[in-house]
Structure 1
């Protein structure tokens, strides 16, 4: 079934991202908005745990709907970090600038994907 495959892909993406927050945290620390209280590493860990939890919820049929809705919220919540990255990278070489800018519109299809998974 296509929707089951889509849910597995979404869950896998979230789990992979969550693991990356712990395996290589420094790039994530760098994009934590300075306006957030506490240390960037704390936010990196919190968001990594959130991605792991949401990814697991998406993979389990019983919690898929709630997990996918949480994924949509998570994708929206991390948007300010992507804006910060695009701003911070504005003077980097063109390929890096392009990659940072490409992350911005990518959030909308990720949110839409999560909503589609939630609808089953």
Structure 2
């Protein structure tokens, strides 16, 4: 029951994030590392990936699709981590300190948790909750 609730919550999170990436790409373009080619297309397709992952997590009768969505969203969260780190560095370098450490440190800590959560709610892992025999 907890896994199902968190699966729906994560799907909602990624669904909203996907919509925002497509509807309002400007904030994401600002934090994109300069080495990323075609940043507008990358932001658009990351939004599509988030929406597809969210839809996959919500499939009630397809554990394989939920697992694939969980793996995809975990990989996605891993791949966007450099953009989040870039945002941290650029934001903290601002004269006013940007959003500050109170925003960025929890965000950096949350990234591996989100990666694990996508794998757990997708059914790829039971760690650390496996039953011992």
Q: Does the 8 Å contact 2:53/2:73 carry over to 1? A: yes
How far, CA to CA, are the matches of 1:60 and 1:18 in structure 2?
18
Alignment partner for residue 97 of structure 1, among 94, 100, 110? 100
Structure with bigger gyration radius: 2
TM-score for both structures, normalised by structure 1: 0.90
> Is there any run of 5+ residues in structure 1 with no aligned partner, and where?
none
Task: State the distance in 2 between where 1:101 and 1:35 align.
Answer: 24
* 2:10 is the counterpart of 1:10: yes
Which runs of 5 or more residues in structure 2 are unaligned?
127-133
What is the alpha-carbon distance in structure 1 between the residues aligned to residue 109 and residue 52 of structure 2? 24
Equivalent residue pairs, number: 119
Structure 2 contact 73–115 (Cα < 8 Å) conserved: yes
- Quick check: 1:58–1:64 contact (8 Å CA) kept in 2? yes
Compute the TM-score of the two structures, normalised by the length of structure 2: 0.82
* Contact 1:15-1:51 at 8 Å conserved across structures: yes
The Cα of 1:29 is off from its aligned counterpart by: 0.7
Q: Distance in 1 between matches of 2:97 and 2:33?
A: 23
Q: What's the counterpart of residue 79 of structure 1?
A: 81
Q: Which residue of 1 aligns with 2:131?
A: none
